[in-house]
Structure 1
Amino acid sequence: MLYFTVSRSARVSPGTVCDSRSSGTVADYCKGVGTNMTSLVTLACILCACVLVRSEVTVIDLTHTLGPRSEGYPGNPKLNFTNIRRGEGYLGIWQEMNWFSVAEHIGTHFDAPRHFCVDAWKAHEIPIQRLVGPAVVINLTAEAASNIDFGVTNETLIAWENDNVPIPDKAFLFFEFGWARRYPNWHRMFNPRQRGRVQEIHYPGLAHSAVEWLVANRNVHAVGVDTPSPDLGVSKTFIVHRMLCENEVVILENVANLDQMPPYGAMAYGGAVKLRDGSGGPVRLFATVDNSAGVFSFSAVLLTLIICFHLA
């Protein structure tokens, strides 16, 4: 419950007006203030202070730890981590330094639009404003559990919006297939199957119709998946990558902990490495959920009532 108290010894301003029928802490405070602008500002400051004290923000880490076991699409080398110094050195001061090299597209990482479009942004050219946006999480774990090659269509997106909210402008649109639980087990992530001389890989993703609908009807900053790629595992044309990159949509792959996210209402932040001429790179992806929205709403109503009471 949001409340405030004011000392009964508060100085009474000239011209004070107060309804004697009022009671409680608001009435007590009213006896000590006037109807001038200073009084209104004072009330606003007190209420804002109360709100700030009660504000609660949950931070959700959407990033797998980067290390020797980090996985990515076939063909990417493993991370190399080498210790340079560890221990007490000059004057007995502890010091630790390491050297590492890593492929752009392993672990939780981003694809710059240049990854599949020659004229699009490279990693260092992505505007910082494109690395933050309202988060939307579409949970498709049940569909992926029953069909490893499940593809999201335009009908999937339209149905989700009908049951929830329209995908907001500048959104980070995430698809949860339940694949984070498989990471970093390569065989469970890629589900390889041999067909003659060709080894096929299998995991869910987006169909062409979904991306076509998205770029035509919504303005999203990023599309993220908990799988190795937004394209279906069986895709040979990478049509989803190509369409997203051509429309300068950042791609986020191997996203973690989407099961901790609300369907909407959070804010997502992509701390992408600003690698010159890069086609992507590691990202420290996280989201924040504001749990104090109800307190702000109540405070706004209370402030309005008090101002009206003073002006009456």
Structure 2
Amino acid sequence: MSVLDALLAALTDGSVEVVDLTAPLSSATPILQLPEPFADTVPFQLREISRYDDRGPAWYWNDITTGEHVGTHFDAPVHWITGRDGEDVSQVAPRRLVGPAVVLDAAAHVAGDPDFLLEVDHVRDWEKAHGPLPEGGWLLYRTGWDARAGDQAAFLNADGTGPHSPGISAECARWLAEETPIQGIGVETVGTDAGAAHGFEPPFPCHSYLLGADKYGLTQLRNLDHLPARGAVLVAAPLPIVGGSGSPARVLALVER
């Protein structure tokens, strides 16, 4: 039996499960809110063209309006000034959209501290328990934040001092970008950086370091609690938008059961 035949057989008999890590995309999907004078993305919207009526008697379809970075989405290097000479989303090699994934679960820490930051020592402790980060793979950072995804206010969790959501410290972001073999990180929050990351040095270090190192970001993931600490295969499928800085994406994981 060929490798692909074996995979198809495993998908058919359920010994390999396909787990959807993608949040449904609608007008209620939470979106990033930047302070003035910065411009914000538009929310996702459908505009009906026809629905089995005199505009089109046998078909239903819509126009869509959305930003590149709405909902579960892929950040390409050109999204950030440090990666301005890098790939746009259409230039990302298909081979880099499929790879091994590991899950680092910090949900217990975040439950007690919404501003919790992942540090290098947390990752090293994870490696002691589960082995090294995968070459050409993804570090998926579980925080439990996807439980808030149905409520924009709870998801952004902002007050007078700004948003409060978990993330990665500047030093850990630099280390992941420059000293580990992963090709990207995936998070459950609205962006790859912590809510308070505008005040870090550099600001928004996950964007700055990872995209500047020709690595990628995935955001607003869910169902990471359905994945093992290691052993899953991740498939990220953004639209190949020419000149695009990113794209909404369908993100799937293959998990052996």
Q: What TM-score do you get using the length of structure 1 for normalisation?
A: 0.72
- Identity over the aligned pairs, expressed in percent? 29
The 3-state SS of whatever aligns with 1:159 is helix
Distance (Å, rounded) in 2 between the aligned partners of 1:220 and 1:161: 13
Distance (Å, rounded) in 2 between the aligned partners of 1:93 and 1:77: 31
- Residue of structure 2 aligned with 1:86, choices 45, 51, 63: 51
Q: Does 1:104 align with 2:104?
A: no
The question of whether the paired residues in 2 share the 8 Å contact of 1:131 and 1:221 is answered with no
What letter matches 1:100 in structure 2? I
Partner of 1:158: 124
Tell me how far 1:89 sits from its aligned partner. 6.9
Distance (Å, rounded) in 2 between the aligned partners of 1:184 and 1:111: 22
Residues 200-253 of structure 1: CA deviation (Å, up to 9, x unaligned): 111000011212222333221221000112212111111221100011111001
Tell me how far 1:283 sits from its aligned partner. 0.2
Q: After superposition, where does 1:209-224 map in structure 2 within 5 Å? A: 209-224=171-186
- Residue of structure 1 aligned with 2:169, choices 207, 219, 223: 207
- Higher mean C-alpha deviation, range 267-276 or range 111-120: 111-120
Tell me how far 1:70 sits from its aligned partner. 1.2
- Residue of structure 2 aligned with 1:279, choices 225, 245, 249: 245
Residues 17-47 of structure 1: CA deviation (Å, up to 9, x unaligned): xxxxxxxxxxxxxxxxxxxxxxxxxxx99xx
Distance (Å, rounded) in 2 between the aligned partners of 1:243 and 1:135: 20
The 3-state SS of whatever aligns with 1:220 is coil
Partner of 2:42: 77
Q: Which runs of 5+ in 1 are unaligned?
A: 1-43, 292-312
Tell me how far 1:97 sits from its aligned partner. 1.4
Distance (Å, rounded) in 1 between the aligned partners of 2:53 and 2:15: 41
- 1:147–1:55 CA distance, 2 compared to 1 (3 A): closer
* Greater C-alpha Rg: 1
Q: Which runs of 5+ in 2 are unaligned?
A: 34-39
Root mean square deviation, CA, Å: 2.2
Tell me how far 1:281 sits from its aligned partner. 1.1
What letter matches 2:183 in structure 1? H
Partner of 2:36: none
- Residue of structure 1 aligned with 2:145, choices 175, 179, 184: 179
Kindly indicate which of the two structures has a greater share of residues assigned to strand.
2
Partner of 1:56: 15
Bigger relative contact order, structure 1 or 2 (CA pairs below 8 A, ≥6 apart): 2
Q: What TM-score do you get using the length of structure 2 for normalisation?
A: 0.87
Number of aligned positions between the proteins: 240
Tell me how far 1:177 sits from its aligned partner. 0.5
